[in-house]
Amino acid sequence: MRVAVLGSGGIGGYYGALLARSGHDVAFIARGAHLEAMQRRGLTVRTPEGESTIPVTASADTASIGTVDLVLFSVKSYDTETAAQALTPLMARDTAVITFQNGLDNVDAIASVAGSEAVLAGGVYVALQLVGPGVILRTGGEGKVVFGELSGTLTERVQRIADAFRQSGIPHEVTPDIRRVLWDKFLFITGIGGVTALARSGIGPLLASAAGRSLLHAACGEIVAVAQAEGALLQPAAVDAVLAQAATLPAPWRSSMARDLEEGRRLEVDALSGAVVRRGLKQGIPTPVHQTIVACLSVHQPSASTTQEPHARSAIRA
């Protein structure tokens, strides 16, 4: 299978490396020091099981890649619209684009360029980071990828992608209800992860505090209320379930957005808590916790003058 990875950070870099290692023709779209490192010495993946480096094809320009069978679309949500414009040179009549991103609105932005029939969605359940140019780190277990057609149909292309993942040793699950999966993941990363960023705290101290636990419960409750108003199949019991899931994490655990905040990087707050606020306003659902998260975290966004403007066909940070 010919694959392009658009957004070659933790998620894209890791899964692209597994596909390339098993013999698939994979091209990584990247920029800056990360691109230079991959072109010079390859892509290094570090896991609890060991470290390996593979030579890879890497470029800043999708036009130099040409058409592919599959695009792994894994940029940060704030770069979705710009990165989507870079899809055109990659697209053949039957090219599939699978988004492995945080947030609920990426599918529509990608479909506006690639066409709705080309887009699949997925959720990734594994701890991955780009820890340096050309270096991906996986902590913890192998996790899994859950993906499927937005229509819920088990199509031939889904089976082809699942076969490629199986051949590459990628744990995966095909779901007939990917929209529900996206909401479930959104509940966790936005309700739990957003509060760890707001509090600048690991999950342990928040759960150990009555006030912290109440805040987590309220943040998740707002998401469930908005989801139900939109007709999504999230029930009130999902709040207790996601808090129980959070309680299984190591006490220092915090979201990737919390790490981005600490390291002065751009935040996905608009695609996460911002989406809750916008949807709440549309549905008449109050979302005071997420309004607070947006107000407090938005002031820490890097200014336009310090944020590099990506070229329309260059890789966007993932």
Measured from the Cβ of residue 163, the count of other Cβ atoms closer than 10 Å reads 11
Q: Is 142 helix (H, G, I), strand (E, B) or coil?
A: strand
| pTM, full prediction | 0.89
Q: Considering 114, 143, 176, which residue would you say is the last residue of a domain?
A: 176
Q: Considering 158, 176, 194, which residue would you say is the last residue of a domain?
A: 176
Closest CA to 54 of 45, 46, 64, 66: 45
Q: Tell me, what's the pLDDT at 140?
A: 85
Residues 156 and 221 placed together within one structural domain of the fold: no
Q: Is residue 196 part of a domain?
A: yes
Residues 216 and 167 placed together within one structural domain of the fold: no
Q: Is residue 42 part of a domain?
A: yes
Mean pLDDT of 96-107: 95
Q: Please give the Cα distance from 101 to 219 (Å, whole number).
A: 21
Mean pLDDT of 198-227: 97
Q: Tell me, what's the pLDDT at 293?
A: 97
Q: Is 249 helix (H, G, I), strand (E, B) or coil?
A: coil
Give the phi and the psi of residue 265 in degrees, each rounded to 5.
-95, 165
Residues 169 and 219 placed together within one structural domain of the fold: no
What is the domain extent for residue 153?
Answer: 2-176
Q: Is residue 286 part of a domain?
A: yes
Residues 192 and 149 placed together within one structural domain of the fold: no
Number of domains in the chain: 2
Return the residue matching tokens 């359940």: 125
Residues 161 and 212 placed together within one structural domain of the fold: no
Mean pLDDT of 287-291: 98
Integer angstrom CA distances of residue 141 from 214, 271, 311: 30, 27, 35
Q: Is residue 272 part of a domain?
A: yes
Q: Is residue 88 part of a domain?
A: yes
- Pinpoint the alpha helices (H) of the chain: 10-21, 32-41, 80-85, 106-114, 156-167, 178-186, 193-199, 203-208, 210-229, 237-247, 256-262, 273-283, 288-298
Give the phi and the psi of residue 28 in degrees, each rounded to 5.
-100, 125
Query: What's the token pair of residue 290?
Result: 């997420």
Contacts of 132 (CB under 8 A, 6+ apart): 37
Whether residue 245 is predicted with pLDDT greater than 90 in this model: the reply is yes
Residues 170 and 34 placed together within one structural domain of the fold: yes
Residues 201 and 129 placed together within one structural domain of the fold: no
Pairing state of beta strands 43-47 and 119-132? unpaired
Whether residue 15 is predicted with pLDDT greater than 60 in this model: the reply is yes
Q: What percent of the chain has pLDDT over 70?
A: 95
Integer angstrom CA distances of residue 127 from 46, 48, 80, 255: 12, 12, 21, 10
Residues 166 and 211 placed together within one structural domain of the fold: no
Whether residue 105 is predicted with pLDDT greater than 50 in this model: the reply is yes
Residues 14 and 162 placed together within one structural domain of the fold: yes
Domain CATH number, residue 284: 1.10.1040.10
Q: Is residue 303 part of a domain?
A: no
Residues 31 and 158 placed together within one structural domain of the fold: yes
> What would the DSSP string read from start to end of 9-68?
SHHHHHHHHHHHHTT-EEEEE--HHHHHHHHHH-EEEEETTEEEEE--EEES-GGGT---
Residues 68 and 146 placed together within one structural domain of the fold: yes
Q: Is residue 235 part of a domain?
A: yes
Q: Is residue 65 part of a domain?
A: yes
Residues 14 and 113 placed together within one structural domain of the fold: yes
Q: Considering 157, 176, 195, which residue would you say is the last residue of a domain?
A: 176
Mean pLDDT of 8-28: 96
Domain CATH number, residue 154: 3.40.50.720
Position 65 confidence tier, pLDDT thresholds 50, 70, 90: very high
Q: Tell me, what's the pLDDT at 303?
A: 59
Measured from the Cβ of residue 273, the count of other Cβ atoms closer than 10 Å reads 33
